[in-house]
Structure 1
C-alpha cells in the first residue's frame, strides 16, 4: 500500500488539481488509486474538491465518496479547519481521518491525501497539518507556483519538512497562475538551485485542457 500527501505553500495554490492529476497518472498506469481530502472548508453537502478529483480522473463518484469516507470533515465557513469546525461546535479528530484512510486502503493500493491550505494550518487546538504528516510519516508532494512571494513560501515549506524529517518526493509547479514570464522562469530556477536533487514537475492549467495527462514518473 502506498500513501502520498499533497500539500501546498499556501491556500489556493493548486493542490486539488495536482492531487487529481497525480491520481489520473497512476490510474492510467493500472494502479487502483483514490484520493482523500482530509478536511474541506467553504463547502456544504458534498466535497467540491473530491468532485474535481473525479472529473480530472475521468471517473464517476465512488461508493466511498458517497459514504463520506473520502472527505471525513466538511465545513461551510471558508476559514482554517480549526475555526470552521469550532463555529459548528465541532473539533477535528485526526483519528477519524486515519480511520477513513485505513478503510480506503482495504480496496485501493494507493491513497493520495490532499491537505487544506499550507503546512502550518491548524487542524484543532493541538495539531497542525505538518504534525499530522510527520506523525504518520507520509511522503509529501509540495505544490508551488510562480506568483510573487512563492520563492520565500516554497523554501520555508521545504525547510520545515526537512527539519521534521519528512520525506519530500518532489514539487509540482503550478503554471495556471498568471505571472510575468521572467518571474515564472526565475522562481522555478531558484527553487531548483537550492534543491537541485528534488524533481520539479510543471503543471499547466488543467482547466484549459481538462483531458491532459501529466507525466509524474519523476516523482512517483
Structure 2
C-alpha cells in the first residue's frame, strides 16, 4: 500500500475537498485497524482545515491538519506577502514527515490546480514531485474540463509527477448525458493516456460521512490505495 496520496485538481473549486472527504470516510469505515492522517499543507482563507477538524475524528489539531494558513483567499505567495510573511515549506515538510512517521497513511489535499503557485518558484506539481507523492487529479464535469485535464496531465508529465488516475466530479447536479457530453471518459482517457477511476455525484450535503463513504466505494480504490 502507498504511504501517502496527493489529491490535486485541474483548478480551484473542482472537488478536491469532496474527494478527500470521501476517502477519509471510506478509510474510517473500512480500515479501522489502521490510522489515517490528513494534511492541507497550505490554506488561504478559511474552509478545508476547519471542515476536516469538525466533521472527522482525525485526532489532529487544526495546526497538524494545516500548518500554514493565510487569511486572504489568494495564491499563497500573494497572501503571504500581504501579511508580511513567507511561505515556509520547511514547516509544512516537517508536519508531513511527522504524519508519515505516526500514521499508516496520509492524505494530502493540494490547492488550486497542479500549476498553482506554492511559492514564487514552485507549483503544486513541483511539490508533488519533490515529496514523491502519488497523485490523483480531480476533473470537474463542466465545459472546458477536457482542455484543463489535458493541460494538467501534460504538466504532470513535464514535472515528473506520479499521476495515478483521474476522478470526475459533478460540481453541480448532472445527468449521464451531461457527463458524456462535457467530460466523455473515452476521449479524456485517449487524450491523456491516464485512467479515469470513477465519477463523484453532486452532493447537496458534502459532510454526510455515510454517503461520502458510499460514493468512494464506487471508485477504483485498488489503484487509489494499493
Specify the TM-score bucket, using the shorter chain as the normaliser: 0.7 to 0.9
Cα offset, 1:114, TM superposition? 0.6
8 Å CA contact 2:37, 2:58 repeated in 1:
no
8 Å CA contact 1:140, 1:168 repeated in 2:
yes
Give distance in 1, aligned partners of 2:77 and 2:194.
35
Q: Within the alignment, does 1:201 sit opposite 2:204 as a pair?
A: no
Match of 1:118 in 2: 113
How many residue pairs get matched? 212
Give distance in 1, aligned partners of 2:146 and 2:56.
35
1:155-175 CA-partner distances (Å, limit 9, x unpaired): 111111123222112212111
Q: Which TM-score applies when normalising by structure 2?
A: 0.85
Give distance in 2, aligned partners of 1:69 and 1:126.
25
Match of 1:36 in 2: 39
8 Å CA contact 1:5, 1:140 repeated in 2:
yes
Cα offset, 1:183, TM superposition? 3.9
Cα offset, 1:14, TM superposition? 0.7
Q: Higher helix fraction: Structure 1 or Structure 2?
A: 2
Give distance in 1, aligned partners of 2:203 and 2:121.
36
8 Å CA contact 1:34, 1:110 repeated in 2:
yes
Give distance in 1, aligned partners of 2:58 and 2:83.
27
Q: Within the alignment, does 1:128 sit opposite 2:140 as a pair?
A: no
Match of 1:146 in 2: 141
Q: Which runs of 5+ in 2 are unaligned?
A: none
Match of 1:157 in 2: 152
Give distance in 1, aligned partners of 2:130 and 2:24.
24
Match of 1:13 in 2: 14
Q: How does 1:59-138 map to 2 (within 5 A)?
A: 59-60=56-57, 62=59, 64-66=60-62, 68-138=63-133
- Corresponding residue SS for 2:189: helix
Give distance in 1, aligned partners of 2:52 and 2:199.
18
Cα offset, 1:53, TM superposition? 3.1
Q: Within the alignment, does 1:52 sit opposite 2:47 as a pair?
A: no
Q: Which runs of 5+ in 1 are unaligned?
A: none
Match of 2:184 in 1: 188
Give distance in 2, aligned partners of 1:201 and 1:18.
11
Distance 1:121 1:197, change over 3 A: closer
Give distance in 2, aligned partners of 1:53 and 1:163.
32
Cα offset, 1:22, TM superposition? 1.4
- Corresponding residue SS for 1:137: coil
